[in-house]
Amino acid sequence: MAALVRENSRFLPPQMADKLTFPARFASMRAMKDNMPETLTISLSLADETATRALGRRLAPLLALGDFVALTGDLGAGKTALARAIIQARYGAGGEDEDVPSPTFTLIQTYETPDLLITHADLYRLDEPEDLRELGLGEALDEGTVLMEWPDRMGVAPANRLDIVLSLEGAPAATARVARLTAHGPSWVRRLNALKL
Ligand SMILES: Nc1ncnc2c1ncn2[C@@H]1O[C@H](COP(=O)(O)OP(=O)(O)OP(=O)(O)O)[C@@H](O)[C@H]1O
Ligand SMILES: [Mg+2]
């Protein structure tokens, strides 16, 4: 995974921090503590599906009860591929044998991974927003983590969440993708910032 860009982090890169005088460094550290940013965005280049799966394995251990992850991007961008890698990683060793089909037609699939219930949703075919209630997504968040493709169909999203936008790069048949991860809220900002990608 190359080309890591921390776009709006207030954490200074080490080379810049070294150039600051001591009081300035102290002030910036205090600002860092007092004004934890509300959002943090990281962009990653993913050369192929193996890189996408590797990202999924890195993200999987971060997930906990009540987490909402929004997966956005064009058809075929790799939202399901990334969700599959996350879910399989949560099963631990041998998890790659777990069947994780796309929820395109079922709208939701649930997975009782060893430590976390994961609901994988795809709202692309959601006809009426009222049908949302029947899917039980509120309960799914109370009981575990929700990974959601096409979250824009919902019209609203939890304030605290991780947004992942996957974009196809280059020719349509090419395997390169860019993943843009945006943490919303202090809990996700802290976790994304701590992630060494
Ligand atoms: N770098 C990559 N990351 C993920 N998938 C890739 C990559 N390169 C190629 N692919 C291929 O792209 C396709 C991604 O399909 P996937 O079902 O994950 O897309 P999706 O974003 O979930 O689409 P949809 O909106 O239809 O649900 C798969 O066929 C996968 O093999
Ligand atoms: Mg999909």
Q: pLDDT of 137-185, one tens digit each? A: 999 999 999 999 999 998 889 999 999 999 998 877 799 999 999 999 9
Q: pLDDT of 81-116, one tens digit each? A: 999 999 999 999 999 999 999 999 999 999 999 999
pLDDT, position 78: 98
How many whole angstroms from 14 Cα to the centroid of ligand 1?
A: 36
Domain boundaries, given as residue ranges, for the chain: 5-35, 39-196
- Which run of H or E residues covers position 84? helix 79-90
Compute, in degrees rounded to 10, the torsion defined by CA atoms 57, 61, 66, 67.
Answer: -40
pLDDT, position 94: 95
Q: How large a percentage of the chain has pLDDT more than 70?
A: 81
**SS3 at position 38:** coil
How many whole angstroms from 49 Cα to the centroid of ligand 1?
A: 8
Are 169 and 177 in contact by the 8 Å Cβ rule? The answer is: yes
pLDDT, position 27: 36
Q: pLDDT of 22-48, one tens digit each? A: 333 333 334 445 566 799 999 999 999
Query: Is residue 21 predicted with pLDDT exceeding 50?
Result: no
Closest CA to 166 of 77, 104, 87: 77
Is CATH 3.40.50.300 the classification given to domain 39-196?
yes
pLDDT, position 37: 74
pLDDT, position 30: 40
Ligand 1 shell residues, CB under 6 Å? 46, 48-49, 52, 73, 75-81, 102, 104, 122, 149, 175, 177
pLDDT tier at 17, thresholds 50, 70, 90: very low
Residue listed under structure tokens 């971060």:
62
